[in-house]
Each structure stands twice: as structure tokens, then as C-alpha cells.
Amino acid sequence: MELHPDVGAVVEFEQALEALAAGRTLAALAHVEKALNLKDNPSWYSYLGYCIAKQRGQIKKGIELCLSSLELEPDEPVHYLNLGKINLLYGNKPEALKVFREGMLKGGNEEIKRLLNEIGVRKPPPISFLPRDNPLNRFLGILFSKIGLR
């Protein structure tokens, strides 16, 4: 007895989620691709985007897939999570933080919270109209930290 393609797609997608939770992105990629071949579900695109960015280095395509999921489901925090993780892979930490914060505004999830805590939040520079890397800001930041004002 064969399963209906929709049921098979859901089973494959659930296996992809399990693989992602275990940190096995290559296995997750295979399951997501198989699920999408059985049933085209745009809400799964962000998972595919993250997997291809991580496994194949296709950052631009991964971002595009996440953005297409966000267009359809702008209130789904997991799409923000996947997009933020791609930005971290790409080395764009400020954009990743921005995306994770947007995801938290849409309801958030535990992994977004964990990543935000892991990345940490920088305090604003002591003199806000000067760039963060200005020697005066650096000196004052260190000084204020040492005397306990920061």
C-alpha cells in the first residue's frame, strides 16, 4: 500500500526537522528536497534555504528562499530563524541580529532566544554621534567598564 504523496511529503519534512534538530543539515537537506518533490509547499522553502546555504554555500539562493517563505507567512518566527542563521553563516551578524529580533516580535521561539543570548548585545557607544570604533569611544567604553559605569 502506497502513501498519498501529501502524507509522504509530510513524513519526509518531519524527518528533515528531526535531522535539523540533531544538527545533521545534510540529511535534513535530502529530506526537505524529497518532501518538496512530493508536494510543493512554500512554507518549507526557508528550511530548504538554510540547508542549501549551509551545505552547498548557496547563500544568495538560501536568502531568496527564506524571503519567499516570509512573503507567504510573515508571522512565522521559524522563517526569521532560518534567515538569521543564513546571515550568520555569511558573516553578516548585524543583519542576523535584526532578523532574529523581528522573529521575536512575531512570537519568537527558543532557538531564536538561544542564538540572541549566544551572540550577545553590544552596548551603545559612549558618544553616540561618533562611530563605535572611534578611539575616544573605545577609550571611554573601556574606562567606564573598568569603573563600573557600563
Write down all domains in the chain, each with its CATH number in brackets.
5-119 (1.25.40.10), 124-150 (no CATH)
30 CB burial (10 A radius; 0-12, 13-18, 19+): middle
Task: Round to whole Å and give the CA distance between 113 and 19.
Answer: 21
3-state secondary structure the chain: CCCCHHHHHHHHHHHHHHHHHCCCHHHHHHHHHHHHHHCCCHHHHHHHHHHHHHHHCCHHHHHHHHHHHHHHCCCCHHHHHHHHHHHHHHCCHHHHHHHHHHHHHCCCCHHHHHHHHHHCCCCCCCCCCCCCCCHHHHHHHHHHHHCCCC
What pLDDT does residue 4 have? Answer: 62
pLDDT at 3: 54
The reported pLDDT for the residue numbered 1 is: 43
CB contact at 8 A, 10 and 43: no
Residue pLDDT tens, the chain, 150 long: 455 668 889 999 999 999 999 999 999 999 999 999 999 999 999 999 999 999 999 999 999 999 999 999 999 999 999 999 999 999 999 999 999 999 999 999 999 999 998 987 677 889 989 998 999 999 998 998 889 887
Rounded distance, CA 26 to CA 22, Å?
A: 11
Q: What is the pTM of this model?
A: 0.79
Q: What is the pLDDT of residue 150?
A: 75
